[in-house]
Amino acid sequence: MKKGLIFILCVSLLFCFSATASAVNLQDESIYHVAVDRFYNGTTANDGERKGGLEHFLGGDLQGVIKKLDYIKGMGFTIVSLSPIFQNEANGFHGKWVKDFKKVDEHFGTMQDLKQLTKEAHKRDLKVMIDFVFETGPNHPWLSDPAKKEWFVEGSTTFDVSRPDVQAFIIDVAKWWIKQSDIDGYRLIDANRTEPQFLKKMAEEVKSVKKDFVLVADIGGGDPNTYQNSGIDAVMNTYFAKNVQKSFSNVDEPLSGLDGFTQSNLPVVSFLDDEDIVRFTRKAVENEAFPVTRLKLALTYLYTLPAVPFVYYGTEIALDGGNGAVNYRMMDFRTSTEIVEYITNLADIRKILPSLRTGQYHLLYEKDGMLVYQLKSGDETSIIAINNTSQTKSVTIGFRYLPDNHELRGYLKGGSIKSSKDGYTITLERETSEIFKLDEQKGASIPFISILVGVPVLFILFLYAAYKKGKGKQPS
Ligand SMILES: [Ca+2]
């Protein structure tokens, strides 16, 4: 038993999260990412020829995003992130086949629309990020232009960022969008195909235009530590997300091996879905599990890590997806709001409890799909328990980890757990989770306080009534 505890303690120490200072503190932020063409059609005036089918433009645009800003804000997000909006080649609904790096795609609107979007977002205290792409479409004239084809990594459409002329071009484009539209950040798509040295230069340049400009790098399965000191504020690692998908998309799946989000030296973005990985819902359905129940557990995990939660549009309605265009189904605003409400609740709890955003991570228990961990920040301690199994589970966390004579107060379902002689026994029904805060034990219960306050108030009311009655009887 003693050996077991020492082992858990050692593992916990290994799991300690230590973030280096980054230019922008993203710990209080959470990101909602929109595929502009698939979110909401704000005006049919820019739809062009509607061919139908997921391989073509389907009408979503910047005006549509403006109309849904309150929806995004309402779920508690602080950043709205947009799929690439640079002008694209035919059928570039995803925005990754760039034709003109200094023009808004006509299907999405105009620079005026983008300006209006940032203005409306800022009014709501929301930041706007857009995806930055380091490649052109497959039919770009530069690819066969003798003067420009050297700009690309051989045999690809990706810019060769080791070239000073390419660096100058990209930095010019990056600064131009900020000056034009007052956006607040870029998500750098496939940043792992560039170089940390170049990203550092790019970061310095864009942050010289706007001091608090946010840079999130999508690094595929790359090592986050490679990007330490590169001016990048946070990284998105697809490998971490796939691990979370695998663990939570099926019941009775062990929850070990999720350490990516908590072990990185650079702040990480915690996410389940994005355009490049098959959606969580599809994975759950393949496992014959109920996607909504599974999504809730995964979201509890994402929102209770010292990371930056990122939700891809449609996750909140358990939208189905797959590889390629199937991952970009049209958003539906008229379906169940069960997950929307759950996300809103998680965002509120994350706001109330700073330890969920900035705490030090310590693993307390992990066995066969039952996970308990602690986040500690200053005087505040949160305990997160997730039961990923098909049975009710009870785990006792001993006084080695938590002080005696306190209580664990539940924030998702409510209620509290007082210490027993061995510690705090957390019991969770199958496929449920809870977020607890360690609190001083309340001396008096609410009914007791009610009696304490209520009795004198009733007495005073009684005296007043008697006085009025007495006064009424007095002869004038
Ligand atoms: Ca439209």
Are 351 and 365 part of one and the same domain?
no
CA distance 90 to 170: 23
CB of 308 closer than 8 Å to CB of 29? yes
Structure tokens of 315?
Answer: 């996750």
Distance 48 CA to ligand 1 centre (A): 8
Are 258 and 311 part of one and the same domain?
yes
Query: Is residue 2 in a domain?
Result: no
Distance 34 CA to ligand 1 centre (A): 15
Are 305 and 210 part of one and the same domain?
yes
Are 108 and 175 part of one and the same domain?
yes
Distance 95 CA to ligand 1 centre (A): 15
* CATH of residue 390: 2.60.40.1180
What is the percent of the chain with per-residue pLDDT over 90, rounded to a whole number? Answer: 83
Distance 50 CA to ligand 1 centre (A): 10
Q: Which residues surround ligand 1, an ion (CB under 5 A)?
A: 41, 46-47, 59, 61
Distance 47 CA to ligand 1 centre (A): 4
Quick one: how far is CA 133 from the chain centroid?
21
Distance 79 CA to ligand 1 centre (A): 23
Span 37-53, pLDDT tens digits: 999 999 999 999 888 89
The pLDDT of residue 473 is: 53
Domain boundary among 358, 386, 416: 358
- Give the long-range contacts of residues 322-325, CB within 8 A, separation 24 or more: 322/278, 322/279, 322/282, 323/278, 325/54, 325/55, 325/93, 325/94
pLDDT over threshold 70, residue 472 = no
Query: Binning pLDDT at 50, 70 and 90, where does residue 453 land?
Result: low
The per-residue pLDDT of the chain, averaged, comes to: 91
Distance 81 CA to ligand 1 centre (A): 18
Distance 247 CA to ligand 1 centre (A): 38
Distance 61 CA to ligand 1 centre (A): 5
Are 39 and 88 part of one and the same domain?
yes
**Mean local confidence (pLDDT), 205-214:** 97
The pLDDT of residue 257 is: 80
CB of 170 closer than 8 Å to CB of 161? yes
Are 390 and 339 part of one and the same domain?
no
Distance 140 CA to ligand 1 centre (A): 25
CB within 8 A of 5, min separation 6: which ones? 398, 400
Query: Is residue 289 in a domain?
Result: yes
Look up the domain containing 343 and give its range. Answer: 20-358
CB of 281 closer than 8 Å to CB of 318? yes
Structure-model confidence comparison of residues 324 and 448, the more confident one: 324
Query: Is residue 456 in a domain?
Result: no
Span 366-383, pLDDT tens digits: 999 999 999 999 999 999
pLDDT over threshold 90, residue 315 = yes
Structure tokens of 378?
Answer: 């200053």
12-16, 67-71, 371-375, 429-433: which range is least confident on average? 12-16
Distance 366 CA to ligand 1 centre (A): 48
Distance 35 CA to ligand 1 centre (A): 13
| Beta-strand pair 31-34/360-367 | unpaired
The pLDDT of residue 454 is: 64
**Alpha-carbon distance values, 362 to 25, 125, 144 (Å):** 22, 33, 54
Are 188 and 321 part of one and the same domain?
yes
Query: Is residue 431 in a domain?
Result: yes
The pLDDT of residue 51 is: 84
Are 135 and 208 part of one and the same domain?
yes
How many distinct structural domains can be found in the chain? 2
Are 176 and 306 part of one and the same domain?
yes
Are 393 and 354 part of one and the same domain?
no
Are 323 and 192 part of one and the same domain?
yes
Helix axes 111-123, 164-181, angle to 10 degrees: 60
The pLDDT of residue 14 is: 39
Domain boundary among 300, 333, 358: 358
Are 307 and 368 part of one and the same domain?
no
Dihedral angle computed from the Cα positions of residues 272, 275, 277 and 280, in that order, rounded to the nearest 10 degrees: 40
Distance 68 CA to ligand 1 centre (A): 14
* CATH of residue 30: 3.20.20.80
Query: Is residue 462 in a domain?
Result: no
Distance 107 CA to ligand 1 centre (A): 6
